Chains A and B, each alone.
Chain A
């Protein structure tokens, strides 16, 4: 069983720079043909200050944490038993190539179903930019199969 004492635990904040090349590669990999996501002049013509971070890319930036295993190690999770159960985003402001985003992760909840055969860890991540502007919140539910 995952120790419930970790509910509310906050991880050390880390920062990730958003790079233009990364966003172009992500557009290619996801079949995004809208030039707003790859061409700065098209992005600016659409009213953006640069190439926008697309809706799900915050998750990729979060996974660029300098200590990728910190969360798993803290909770003692075995990665071979883990499934990504749910993912959601709440958006406050747009983020762009050139921004440096800070990620503050915390354990929002830990619960189980089926008499502990399945355990669920809810992680909340608050994203702010280099100006301190609140950009987005991420909720991620990881499922550990203990059967």
Chain B
């Protein structure tokens, strides 16, 4: 398996993981995610439909942002170290939003003989408004 470069003993509560900054969300990005994810809800890709549903325009799939948080995690540790990963969809991520994914260590603990850390996760837009909020538990050596 991939070497896990992160060491439990070197990590402190309050440490930040390198954030992930995304380019502004384009219609093309949403069309690609619509096809690749199998989520064909027109509200994310068809602005006529979105307006008829009372929305100002199409908006991003919540699970696209969660996939970006997944990238943030696997940029930091190999995927097989992820024990759990969950989010709440706090507010709508709009088209053209520029999203930043962040993670901070909130807890260090041991289950059986496995060392684990809990990360607080969030995505926010260019104004700092929180879109997704959640956490992940990661096993470390």
- A residues within 8 Å of B by Cβ? 22, 25-26, 28-32, 34, 36, 46-48, 52, 54-57, 59-60, 63-64, 80, 83-91, 94, 139
Contacts and interface: CB of A to CB of B under 8 A. Distances in A.
Given A29-B36, A54-B67, A87 B1 contact: no
A56 B87 CA distance: 11
B68 A26 contact: no
Nearest to A86: B88
Contact of A52 (B35, B36, B79): B79
Contact of B87 (A22, A80, A86): A86
A56 B64 CA distance: 9
Interface string B16-42: 000000100000010011011111000
Interface of B: 1-2, 22, 29, 32-33, 35-39, 53, 62-64, 66-68, 70-71, 73-75, 78-80, 82-89, 134
By secondary structure, the A interface counts as mixed
Contact of A87 (B33, B39, B71, B86): B86
Given A29-B33, A29-B35, A57-B67, 6 more contacts: A46-B1, A64-B38, A83-B89, A84-B63, A87-B63, A94-B79
A141 to B, nearest CB: 8
A52 B32 CA distance: 20
Nearest to B68: A30
B79 A88 contact: no
29 contacts: A25-B35, A25-B36, A26-B37, A29-B35, A30-B36, A30-B67, A30-B71, A31-B71, A32-B67, A34-B75, A54-B74, A59-B63, A63-B37, A63-B39, A64-B38, A83-B89, A84-B63, A84-B89, A86-B87, A86-B89, A87-B63, A87-B87, A88-B84, A88-B87, A88-B134, A89-B84, A90-B83, A91-B83, A139-B86
Contacts of A63: 37-39
B68 to A, nearest CB: 7
